[in-house]
Amino acid sequence: MCGRYTRYLPWSEIHRLYRLTAPAEIGRNDAPRYNIAPTEDVPFVTAGENGNHRLREGRWWLVPFWAKEAPKFQLFNAKSEEADSKPSFRDAFKSKRCLIPADGFYEWTISPADKKRDPWHIFLPEHRPFSFAGLWAYNSTLDITSCTILTAAASEPMKQIHDRQPVILDQSAYDAWLDPATPVPAAKQLLDVNLGGQLQFYRVSRDVNATVKDGKPNDSQHMIDPIALL
Domain region containing 39: 5-105+125-197
- The catalytic residues are 2, 107
pLDDT tens digits along 7-29? 998 888 888 899 987 777 767 77
In a domain, 212, yes or no: no
CB distance 103 to 31 below 8 Å: no
In a domain, 204, yes or no: no
Distance, in Å, from the CA atom of 7 to the CA atom of 85, rounded to the nearest integer, reads 30
Mean pLDDT of 143-161: 97
In a domain, 206, yes or no: no
Confidence of residue 134 (pLDDT cuts 50, 70, 90): very high
CB distance 17 to 171 below 8 Å: yes
pLDDT at 230: 63
In a domain, 169, yes or no: yes
Distance, in Å, from the CA atom of 76 to the CA atom of 63, rounded to the nearest integer, reads 9
Q: Is the predicted pLDDT of residue 146 greater than 70, yes or no?
A: yes
The domain that holds 89 is classified in CATH as 3.90.1680.10
In a domain, 111, yes or no: no
CB distance 154 to 165 below 8 Å: yes
Q: What is the DSSP string of 49-88?
A: GGG-EEEEEEEES---TT-SS--SS--SEEETTTTTTSTT
In a domain, 159, yes or no: yes
pLDDT at 190: 98
Which of 14-18, 105-109, 129-133 has the weakest average pLDDT?
A: 14-18
- Global model pTM greater than 0.85: yes
Distance, in Å, from the CA atom of 168 to the CA atom of 178, rounded to the nearest integer, reads 14
Count up the domains in the chain and report the number. 1
